[in-house]
Structure 1
Amino acid sequence: MSYCTNVHPAEDLPGVLAQLDRYAEPVRRLVGVDVLGLGLWLPAGLAGELAGDPALRARLRAELDARGLEVYTLNAFPYGGFHDDVVKHSVYRPQWTDPRRLEYTVDCATVLADLLPDTASYGSISTLPLAWRAPWDGADDTAATSAFAELTGVLAGMARRDGRPIRLAVEPEPGCVLDTVADAVSWLANRVDPRFVGLCLDTCHLAVSFADPAETVAAIHRAGLSVVKVQASAALQVEEPASEAAQAALADFTEPRYLHQVRERTGDGAVLGSDDLPQALAELPAQRAWRVHFHVPLHARPAAPLSATTDVLRGAVAALESTVEELPHIEVETYTWSVLPETAGNGGDTALIRGIAAELRWAAAQLLGQEGGVR
């Protein structure tokens, strides 16, 4: 189990190393473990720099080891600038038709191969679900398929050399070409080598799509694919979105940096969507419950009339436990601490460190039955 460092802003190696001292090692101490997993986020420029310099990779590995930190997984969804004042749709660029996306992912694989602890059976890299949904056409499909094939060739060669694979985990997200897990399964099945490409199951995204977690896990495995990585996350939920209290509560979560897609399931089972929270009330009927793509802390239930979809997270992990011999990598990914209404501008580093540690303890207890801490 890891926590994802995309919650911290850093665009270069000094910034990443500063994160380790400022946040990651204090989180490890507070959780009370000798070794803590990090789901490392490396922006493209830094990934390229590290990939091109074995000495820099060795330095990063040594810095991690010295602090009791280890890396099994990388988050290669955001290419860079993930803490810009406005991120929104830019997080989906470059898309998988752009050679820069392939280059970035190969760089991440090169870095991860040298960071993996000796105990790791594989490494994982999560990536975006091809692109935002438009524009996208058949030519784009062909280009992305070719890019995945080229990446697979690289990963297969690395596996032969190193004796253990680096695996790509495609992360469906509302509004993208692969909007749902069902979309991703349909696109990936019979198109990729499942030894090297599978799914990243982000349970916030899964909840927003109103998919059943057990049925979703079963469908992935029926298609001959696997869940390579779970991003343990929870969406915001509101039962009566048209009420005055709900609108006031949701207004506190309306912020300019990230995109917060909203979905509403109708009485006949159809799922209606709006691309961002500010537009949702004008675009959706607001007659039934909403789920909002806003990652909320796992351990802290939002104040009524809002709630969180942690039951979907529990259900997904339980379904995996009953399906596979060994759970995939689990990465706690609440990147929204800086824009949460309760924490924006308040609490500073201490509140963030305590919050991440509390999430990890919650996840260890609720998902893995480890009451004593994170292992």
Structure 2
Amino acid sequence: MKVNTGHLTYCTNIHAGKNWDEDFNALKQNFPIVKQNVAPTAALGLGLRLSNTASLQLQNAAELELFKQWLQENDAYVFTMNGFPYGDFHHTIVKADVHAPDWTTDDRKDYTVRLFHILKSLVPEGMDGGISTSPLSYRHWFKAPEALKEATEKATLNIIEVIKVLASINNEQGLLLHLDIEPEPDGILETGREFIDWFEQYLLPIGIPEIKNLFNTTDQEAEAIIKQHLCLCYDVCHFAIGYEDHGAVLAELERKNIRVGKIQISAALKASLDGSGEEKQQIKQSFTTFNEPTYLHQVVALQNDGGVKRYQDLPEALDDFENEAAKEWRAHFHVPISVHDIGLLQSTQSDISKVLELQKARPFTNHLEVETYTWEVLPEHLKLPIAQSISNELNWVIDTLA
């Protein structure tokens, strides 16, 4: 829906579905309830998530036309998609395989191009469309620095091939589409700093000659094309986990004319560890209730000296809980954004408020997407019916923006 700084939606990766039929049925069941609760008299956006299997099905012209008719009948529209998870995302162990196949592969490139061809027929006239994606790969798959560098270069080349497709669509149809890289813990790009450094040290040096030769442009024009079609997906949960300074990151992006394609509005778990021994043990037990086997739940511990210590998953962090050097934990578990206190733990809701304040003061994107996908694996006391949960999330954002 149109809000004061852009368009607001929710990511449909909240719905379990292995194929387009299951995805579409989930939308038919839940979207009308959400719309009635959130935007009964206004059009409501959808942040569409399609697996590879679903994308193969929806590229069929007849299926796509049926979906477009349903969107029109339900006063809904699609302007952003989540192209990060390629395969099953619920009812299976995902963990690091959320990155597979990664950007070093043709499978990832071809899947993403297919999503853009679907999106270009869905985006309303006059709007831009974006797809968020993996931060190249999972860094722990590459043990040696040389292997990591090689993977980064190969991934960058595949991303440039997607930029070529998007630039061609823009030239032919006047439609602006952008690929939005989503840094996250243990991705090859996991921080704002790493994204910006990759952009300047890999993407531009490799991409400018490629774009220049294909479109017969100058270096400056080639750089502008890259910056138009390759953006940052600002997932607030991921940036909060790393204790990043939102204002500083966004200011540097603005100075360097690197665009933010989308804000993913999401919250992580956190807790202060400066209490008594008994209080700390209760906090440990609280974190233990979130130790589930489906997704990676990386932990970043803020140290007393101001540094950070990173854990690849919650079990490793729990094993090191007695480490007295840590004064705060933040865990990669997408908890409801409309909730601040979760027993003895808290959410990083205040980070969302800060980012939305920056967005209100100086809008840096027009795509806002709520992304809380962990409802099925949340502790029971946090669960609500899916449609009600989504409605609560969206209404909280609307109230915060207002």
- State the TM-score, normalizing by the size of structure 1: 0.92
2:377 aligns to what? Answer: 339
Q: Check whether the contact 1:337–1:343 (CA below 8 A) recurs between aligned residues.
A: no
Amino acid at match of 1:220: L
2:309 aligns to what? Answer: 272
Amino acid at match of 2:247: A
Q: How does 1:197-212 map to 2 (within 5 A)?
A: 197-212=230-245
1:58 partner SS: helix
Residue deviations 1:312-351 (CA, integer Å, cap 9, x gap): 1121222234344x6330100000111110358x65xxx2
Structure 2 residue aligned with 1:12, among 6, 10, 19? Answer: 19
1:165 aligns to what? Answer: 176
1:46 aligns to what? Answer: 54
Q: Check whether the contact 1:274–1:283 (CA below 8 A) recurs between aligned residues.
A: no
Deviation of residue 304 (structure 1)?
3.1
Q: How does 1:152-191 map to 2 (within 5 A)?
A: 152-189=163-200, 191=203
Q: Check whether the contact 1:39–1:74 (CA below 8 A) recurs between aligned residues.
A: yes
2:285 partner SS: helix
Q: Check whether the contact 1:85–1:256 (CA below 8 A) recurs between aligned residues.
A: no
Residue deviations 1:132-160 (CA, integer Å, cap 9, x gap): 00314222122112111111110001112
2:339 aligns to what? Answer: 300
Structure 1 residue aligned with 2:133, among 127, 132, 148? Answer: 127
Amino acid at match of 2:227: P
Alpha-carbon RMSD: 1.8
Amino acid at match of 1:315: K
User: For residues 163 and 85 of structure 1, what CA distance do their matches in structure 2 show?
Assistant: 40
Residue deviations 1:162-210 (CA, integer Å, cap 9, x gap): 2121101000001111011110111013625110001000000010000
2:208 aligns to what? Answer: none
Deviation of residue 69 (structure 1)?
1.6
User: For residues 322 and 198 of structure 1, what CA distance do their matches in structure 2 show?
Assistant: 21
Q: Check whether the contact 2:265–2:371 (CA below 8 A) recurs between aligned residues.
A: yes
User: For residues 362 and 320 of structure 1, what CA distance do their matches in structure 2 show?
Assistant: 16
Question: Share of identical aligned residues, percent?
Answer: 33
Q: Check whether the contact 1:236–1:307 (CA below 8 A) recurs between aligned residues.
A: yes
Q: How does 1:306-321 map to 2 (within 5 A)?
A: 306-321=345-360
Residue deviations 1:87-106 (CA, integer Å, cap 9, x gap): 11110111100100000110
User: For residues 7 and 151 of structure 1, what CA distance do their matches in structure 2 show?
Assistant: 27
1:250 aligns to what? Answer: 287
For the pair 1:356 / 2:390, whether they are aligned, the reply is yes
1:221 aligns to what? Answer: 254
User: For residues 47 and 207 of structure 1, what CA distance do their matches in structure 2 show?
Assistant: 31
User: For residues 195 and 323 of structure 1, what CA distance do their matches in structure 2 show?
Assistant: 19
2:380 partner SS: coil
Unaligned runs of 5+ residues in structure 1 are: 370-375
User: For residues 238 and 148 of structure 2, what CA distance do their matches in structure 1 show?
Assistant: 24
2:110 partner SS: helix
Larger radius of gyration: 2
Deviation of residue 50 (structure 1)?
2.7
Deviation of residue 119 (structure 1)?
4.4
Structure-2 change in CA distance of 1:213 and 1:56 (3 Å): same
- Indicate the structure with greater helix content: 2
User: For residues 198 and 52 of structure 2, what CA distance do their matches in structure 1 show?
Assistant: 26
- The alignment covers a number of residue pairs equal to 361
Q: Check whether the contact 2:131–2:179 (CA below 8 A) recurs between aligned residues.
A: yes
User: For residues 381 and 309 of structure 2, what CA distance do their matches in structure 1 show?
Assistant: 30
Residue deviations 1:220-270 (CA, integer Å, cap 9, x gap): 222321111000001111112871110111111111111100001113321
Q: How does 1:44-193 map to 2 (within 5 A)?
A: 44-51=52-59, 53-120=60-127, 122-134=128-140, 135=142, 136-189=147-200, 191-192=203-204, 193=226
1:289 partner SS: strand
Amino acid at match of 1:231: Q
User: For residues 99 and 84 of structure 1, what CA distance do their matches in structure 2 show?
Assistant: 26
- Which moves more between the two structures, 269-278 or 218-227? 218-227
Residue deviations 1:5-61 (CA, integer Å, cap 9, x gap): 00111122211220122111211112243321111000012213333x333222211
1:198 partner SS: strand
Q: Check whether the contact 2:335–2:374 (CA below 8 A) recurs between aligned residues.
A: yes
1:189 partner SS: helix
User: For residues 130 and 343 of structure 1, what CA distance do their matches in structure 2 show?
Assistant: 36
1:260 aligns to what? Answer: 297
Deviation of residue 272 (structure 1)?
0.7
Q: How does 1:22-41 map to 2 (within 5 A)?
A: 22-33=29-40, 34-41=42-49
Q: Check whether the contact 2:77–2:124 (CA below 8 A) recurs between aligned residues.
A: yes
User: For residues 140 and 355 of structure 1, what CA distance do their matches in structure 2 show?
Assistant: 39
Amino acid at match of 1:36: L
1:195 partner SS: helix
Unaligned runs of 5+ residues in structure 2 are: 1-7, 205-225
Deviation of residue 352 (structure 1)?
1.6
User: For residues 160 and 48 of structure 1, what CA distance do their matches in structure 2 show?
Assistant: 26
